[in-house]
Amino acid sequence: MIEVPLALKNLPIDQATTNGTSITRDAPTEIRCVSDQFGDATFLIYSPHGHDMHMLAPAQFRKGNA
């Protein structure tokens, strides 16, 4: 899991609202997104209490180590 990059932060939140899905703290949530930039994509989002939102992504997108 990686922290959601700032450029993407609003995409899963907006799509969750559009889809009628809520992003619940401390529970993984699958968000289906449709955008010009990503086409039809599904993101696994995790928002742990007290931390920034994280998403499942391939390792090559990770920058640094926690």
Using CA atoms, how far apart are residues 8 and 16, in angstroms rounded to an integer? 13
Q: What is the pLDDT of residue 20?
A: 92
Stretch 9-13: mean pLDDT: 83
Phi, psi of 48 (to 5 degrees): -70, 145
Q: pLDDT tens across 14-65, in order?
A: 888 998 999 889 999 998 887 787 678 888 899 888 888 888 876 666 676 6
- Does the residue 58 lie in any domain? no
- Does the residue 24 lie in any domain? yes
Using CA atoms, how far apart are residues 54 and 4, in angstroms rounded to an integer? 5
- Does the residue 55 lie in any domain? no
Q: pLDDT tens across 30-40, in order?
A: 988 877 876 78
Total domain count for the chain?
A: 1
- Does the residue 62 lie in any domain? no
The domain in which residue 16 lies consists of 2-45
Using CA atoms, how far apart are residues 3 and 9, in angstroms rounded to an integer? 9
Q: What is the pLDDT of residue 26?
A: 93
